[in-house]
Structure 1
Amino acid sequence: MEADVATGLWRRLFGRKGPEPLDPSRTDLVVVASSFDHAEACSAALSRATGFDADAPAVLRHHLRIPAAHRERVCEIAAQDGYAPDQHLDASDAGALAPLILRRVQIVDALHCSQERSRMAGLAQRHDGFADGWDALQPGIAAGPRE
Structure 2
Amino acid sequence: MENSAQQLFSTAAITSFRLNGQFLALAEKLAEPAGLTAAWWQVLGAVLHEPLPVAGIARTMGVTRQSVQRIADLLVTRGLAEYRPNPAHRRAKLVAVTAEGQAAIDRLGPRHSEFAARLAKQVGAERLTEIVQALAELSAAVDGIEGAGESD
Q: TM-score range by the shorter chain?
A: under 0.3
Q: Which has the higher strand share?
A: 1
User: Normalization by structure 1: what TM-score?
Assistant: 0.24
State which structure, 1 or 2, has the greater radius of gyration over its C-alpha atoms.
2
Greater RCO structure (CA 8 Å; 6+ sep): 1
